[in-house]
Structure 1
């Protein structure tokens, strides 16, 4: 079955002319272009710093950061009712979850995540993660459950199990994992994996394969396969 990955529709971004500046933890309840005017530490009483409860929102961090002090919480919460969201150009650190993406048609790009439980938690469909640098996260770098997920050009280092994926129509392109790997649940299907490495060796993904010798692999993921022979480095 072919993949049917659909990148988030970003044409709406060109039509947004109003800019709003964010200086502290807040809720976004209207469409618009929002700019993180400075770095912010802490969370609201609801357990997150910035909550998004609207469609058609761009949040540009301008290379600023959201952070906590080792207390459970979420940096950015995207509600299930929110569609067409872009989160870009920021760092997140010391949250239990850096970005909780529960909406639809979401792009997360140019993100640095440090010392989180999970930097990016995905629980919906049509999600793109691009240019992420995730370091020292003790559960996962990215935890993705849903459909039509693209993770591209990202570096995940010392981040628990690395990538956890439970979904379909998932594409992984140009990802480097160090001291972690990719975990696909048995329910996962319709995968495309291109230039993914684990500890500087290629990730090998097999489906309905038998009688194969595999060597020099950083990780082997095999579904519906048998008689595989894995040669140590």
Structure 2
């Protein structure tokens, strides 16, 4: 029996128990529909990639030297709505070159970037044209620690932003900042309409 079948059986038995306990007998049961069921198992990632499907993704290793991505390409590119990217406590290290991006959210809504360190990028975390929550992220030695441009919304919280040229840059977007530690940045927060 698969995990999904066991889970379905447990739910049906619990519903039956509630109905019998209430003095009734269930007359119908909702059938299990594999097409609408969600699989809570996160997808593991071990290298730079594009995430173009909703879900939870977990980085399984540190990435050094930009993962050999081209200068104009991000290491982690997120183009799907409703994505959680969990760095698993790992570091995504760049090459310290211009026009590079550690994690880039491009035109995607409802994205969360969490539990990752990004260092030696032009933009450690870049959000353009979408919305993202950056939580428990460490950005250091980047030109921009977290950069939001013409995004529909953004939150940076519980993060450590240090030794960047610009800690957080918000261009054309209101960004919510809470419980962050800033140190050693040339410009702490840069805002422009």
Which TM-score applies when normalising by structure 1?
Answer: 0.61
- Which segment drifts farther, 82-91 or 153-162? 153-162
Query: In the alignment, what sits opposite 1:135?
Result: 162
Summarize the Cα distance change of 1:34–1:134 in structure 2 as closer, same or farther, 3 Å threshold.
same
Retained in 2: the 8 A contact 1:92–1:112?
Answer: yes
Greater gyration radius: 2
Q: Which is richer in strand?
A: 1
Retained in 2: the 8 A contact 1:18–1:32?
Answer: no
Summarize the Cα distance change of 1:16–1:86 in structure 2 as closer, same or farther, 3 Å threshold.
farther
Q: Which is richer in helix?
A: 2
Equivalent pairs counted in the alignment come to 151
The partner residue of 1:79 within 90, 106, 119 is: 106
CA distance, structure 1, for counterparts of residue 48 and residue 93 of structure 2: 11
- Alpha-carbon RMSD across the aligned residues, in angstroms, is 1.5
Which TM-score applies when normalising by structure 2?
Answer: 0.73
> Offset at 1:47?
2.5
The partner residue of 1:66 within 82, 92, 95 is: 92
Retained in 2: the 8 A contact 1:85–1:106?
Answer: yes
Query: In the alignment, what sits opposite 1:25?
Result: 48
Runs of 4+ in 1 over 4 A off after TM superposition: none
Q: Which runs of no fewer than 5 residues in structure 1 stay unpaired?
A: 1-14, 168-233
The partner residue of 2:153 within 126, 133, 148 is: 126
> Offset at 1:48?
1.3
